[in-house]
Structure 1
Amino acid sequence: MTDVAHEREEGRVIPITTAPSYAEPEPLAKALAFLRRRLTGDYEVDEFGYDPELTDKVVLEMLRPIYRRWFRVEPVELQNVPREGGALVVANHSGTLPVDALMLQVAMHDEVGRALRLLGADLVYQLPVLSHLSRKTGHTLACPEDADRLLRKGELVGVFPEGFKGVGKAFSERYELQRFGRGGFVASAIRAGVPIVPTAIVGAEEIYPKIGDLKVLARALGVPYLPITPFFPLFGPLGLVPLPSKWMIEFGEPIRTDEYDPSAADDPMLVFNLTDHVREAIQQLLNELRLRRGHAFPPFF
């Protein structure tokens, strides 16, 4: 059918016909265009292997329902994250599996509008599939060289100084920061003259409560730990479904480093003191945010 409009001109009525539109639905057109670009190689990756389109259109789309509906992540004090230029986001690490890193990446993209370039442990880049996917989504090895290059390019870089000590700690030690590394992240921030944003993540500790560790099997498999939770390995694959805890992420006031000369990055005492300052800031944020969050499993609405 055609729609008929009428226009009056010098007493005459002139019918105006509008042809029906048979354009492809927009989501389908976008999906087809995306597939076409992937098949023809018409997309870009940077020097680290980061593929922004794949990250935005596929990976983050898969993570977003978990972020919004399962964990109901609530970010606060977003104004403390720089909207442009290099910055180092330093957060606590927990949860048995590093789900907190993925949720932080979604928060940066959706709430701040910036890509978060996460620094990962060596083990991640020793696993073929995981290594490739990590590179594609903007992650890279946690080493001074890569951190320096990203920060000097003006990127927002994320780091978890506790490493496996944090993500693999027992449930009885929840929200207690483990020892940070040697302060390499602080040295990189000083060399680049970028702010450090202390960040607290509350909620990840409850998704896989670790009550034990299969140490012998973990050593045989070459992994830092093999957790025992109330549901894994007892319930098999079902035990891998994370519990729907309520999450909050708070971004603390940035700690400036541009007041130091870049050569100060070679001063072990300065780096140690600043690292300790960042750690204390995150621990304080955690303590306060945990009280603010309240019950870990409030009713769904």
Structure 2
Amino acid sequence: MKDQKRFAVPDPAPADDLDGPARRNGHAPKPAVEDKPGDVWDRRVAGMLAFARRRLSGQYEVDEFGFDRELTEGLFHPVLRLLYREWFRTEVFGVENLPEEGAGLVVGNHSGTVAVDALMLSVALHDKHPSHRHLRLLGADLVFRVPVLSELARKSGGTVACNPDAERLLRSGELVGVFPEGFKGVGKHYRDRYKLQRFGRGGFVSAALRTGTPIIPVAIVGAEEIYPILADIKPLARLLKLPYFPVTPTFPWLGPLGMVPLPSKWLIGFCPPIPTAHLTEHADDPMVIFNLADQVRETIQQTLHQLLERRPDPFGP
């Protein structure tokens, strides 16, 4: 065997001589070296300094879309993980439905006033997938028109929700995340919680069909309660050029504190994949696109009902 060639394995010592030559020579066996409390912190500080040195010297890589894997894993995910684990107490189901390798289009419901659900989904997929794959999110144009937000979105792997970008990512074997409800889902009133809105024109379906990529529906429960929208001040939204201006139980009444999300209990369920490889010649057929989009929407809606039954208390443990 390989290990036997590299290392000489001594014959076992007699039962009354378990400490071997050290005991026979009158020396007590040396205890195993254990980390001192300060050693762990020393390594962490050294790691942070090395990370900062690479960032300042430009010794890191980004792909053609601007995705910075090191920054995402070293900074973004650790921060988001505090919300994911401690604040939202997220549980994840159906990870086995995600492809171990190769492309996949992950399609989810959208809600929550602010697109926190997209961020939590990306952390869930990375942490629970056996290969710790990254989800490449497709975002609205508005996200990439805001200077700082655009840079953060690009660095974390996001790109504009358009078919050319989606198809390029899928052809390169990436897991791509899309939320067809768009702002209609994120900005809907609390009274309409967990009722999926219209799925637009089904552009995500045509991207999957053109590349023969399986579609993995995903249902997210919990985002509806973090910023419950009670009203939408449309004149103010138009003035600020926003899709909506929400009024929640805490915003704008509490000012900046109103931006703290409520600690709802989250459940994320990945559904069995829907194959598309046998339908590639129908990528421009409106009826095929409509039927497939409707199948994805209905799958997500039914899974939402099932997850809600598993979570009777929105703010439970």
Same structural fold, with TM-score higher than 0.5 when normalized by the shorter chain? yes
State the Cα distance separating 1:128 from its structure 2 match.
0.7
For 1:273, the equivalent position in structure 2 comes to 291
Partner AA of 2:51 in structure 1: F
Partner AA of 1:225 in structure 2: Y
Q: How does 1:1-301 map to 2 (within 5 A)?
A: 25-112=42-129, 113-260=132-279, 262-299=280-317
**Which SS does the other structure have where 1:280 is aligned?**
helix
State the Cα distance separating 1:231 from its structure 2 match.
1.1
Q: In 1, Cα distance between the equivalents of 2:201 and 2:22? A: 81
Q: In angstroms, what is the RMSD of aligned CA positions? A: 2.3
Partner AA of 1:106 in structure 2: V
State the Cα distance separating 1:181 from its structure 2 match.
1.2
Q: In 1, Cα distance between the equivalents of 2:219 and 2:295? A: 14
**Which SS does the other structure have where 1:175 is aligned?**
coil
| Structure of greater Rg | 2
Q: In 2, Cα distance between the equivalents of 1:165 and 1:237? A: 24
Partner AA of 2:123 in structure 1: V
Once the two structures are superposed, residues 222-260 of structure 1 have per-residue CA deviations (whole angstroms, 9 ceiling, x without a partner) of: 110010011111111111111000000001111000111
Q: In 1, Cα distance between the equivalents of 2:155 and 2:190? A: 32
Q: Is the 8 A contact 2:135 2:157 kept in 1?
A: yes
Q: In 2, Cα distance between the equivalents of 1:69 and 1:207? A: 14
Q: Is the 8 A contact 1:164 1:224 kept in 2?
A: yes
State the Cα distance separating 1:127 from its structure 2 match.
0.5
Once the two structures are superposed, residues 1-40 of structure 1 have per-residue CA deviations (whole angstroms, 9 ceiling, x without a partner) of: xxxxx97599687999xx9x99782211211111111011
For 2:17, the equivalent position in structure 1 comes to none
Partner AA of 2:201 in structure 1: R
Pick closer, same or farther for the CA change 1:293–1:9 going to 2, 3 Å.
Answer: closer
**Which SS does the other structure have where 1:47 is aligned?**
coil
**Which SS does the other structure have where 2:238 is aligned?**
helix
State the Cα distance separating 1:291 from its structure 2 match.
1.1
Partner AA of 1:284 in structure 2: Q
Structure 2: where are the runs of 5+ without partners?
1-19
Partner AA of 1:248 in structure 2: L
Partner AA of 1:277 in structure 2: Q
For 1:3, the equivalent position in structure 2 comes to none
Q: Is the 8 A contact 1:208 1:242 kept in 2?
A: yes
Q: In 2, Cα distance between the equivalents of 1:157 and 1:210? A: 28
Once the two structures are superposed, residues 123-168 of structure 1 have per-residue CA deviations (whole angstroms, 9 ceiling, x without a partner) of: 0011111011100000000000000000000000000000000000
Given the two structures, how large is their TM-score scaled by the length of structure 2? 0.87
Structure 1: where are the runs of 5+ without partners?
1-5
State the Cα distance separating 1:70 from its structure 2 match.
0.3
Give the number of the structure whose residues are more often strand, by fraction: 1
Pick closer, same or farther for the CA change 1:13–1:151 going to 2, 3 Å.
Answer: closer
**Which SS does the other structure have where 1:266 is aligned?**
coil
Q: In 2, Cα distance between the equivalents of 1:86 and 1:65? A: 29
Q: Is the 8 A contact 2:22 2:29 kept in 1?
A: no
Q: In 1, Cα distance between the equivalents of 2:154 and 2:225? A: 28
Given the two structures, how large is their TM-score scaled by the length of structure 1? 0.92
Q: Is the 8 A contact 2:109 2:185 kept in 1?
A: yes
Pick closer, same or farther for the CA change 1:202–1:15 going to 2, 3 Å.
Answer: closer
State the Cα distance separating 1:263 from its structure 2 match.
3.1
Give % identity.
Answer: 59
Q: In 2, Cα distance between the equivalents of 1:15 and 1:106? A: 46
Pick closer, same or farther for the CA change 1:114–1:8 going to 2, 3 Å.
Answer: closer
